[in-house]
Amino acid sequence: MKKSEKNNDSVVNSEFIEVPLSLYCSLAGITEKTAYNRMKKGELRVCKKEHKNFVLVNEKQLFILNKAEQIDKLVERRSIKKSKELDRKKIKKVIIKVKSAMEELEETIKLLG
């Protein structure tokens, strides 16, 4: 075994986890093309097993990526909830306007009839 192979084995066995490339991309919010570009620059470690690409990710980094995804989902849920609240308020205002217009119509009908 060469020196570099020994170093790679120790790196793989220590704090790194193999994550499928597609899962890593979805967690990191990047495309696979971006991941390949980062791999070419040496920013990502990618290994291939059984015709599938895996990214070697530090356990701490994986935790951070997972938390970032959870925060994104939380923010998305909150924004959807907020937009629904705003829509309800707008609908209530429209209903109030329609009711007042109906009352005015009824009054004018009584005056005419």
Q: Maximum Cα–Cα distance for the chain, whole Å?
A: 103
Instruction: Note whether residue 79 is domain-resident.
Output: yes
Confidence of residue 103 (pLDDT cuts 50, 70, 90): very high
In this prediction, residue 102 carries a pLDDT of 93
Task: Report yes or no on 12 lying in a domain.
Answer: yes
Whether 13 is in a domain gets the answer: yes
Identify whether 45 is part of a domain.
yes
Whether 14 is covered by a domain: the verdict is yes
Question: Could you tell me the pTM of the whole model?
Answer: 0.43
Neighbouring C-beta atoms of residue 45, cutoff 10 Å: 17
Here the tokens at position 9 are: 């084995």
3-state secondary structure of 111: helix
Quick check: is 11 in a domain? yes
Q: Residue 28, class by beta-carbon neighbours within 10 Å (0-12 exposed, 13-18 middle, 19+ buried)?
A: buried
Q: Residue 52: which H helix or E strand, with range?
A: strand 52-58
Neighbours of 19 (CB within 10 A): 18
In a domain, 28, yes or no: yes
Work out how many domains the chain is built from and give that number: 1
* Domain assignment of residue 34, given as a range: 3-83
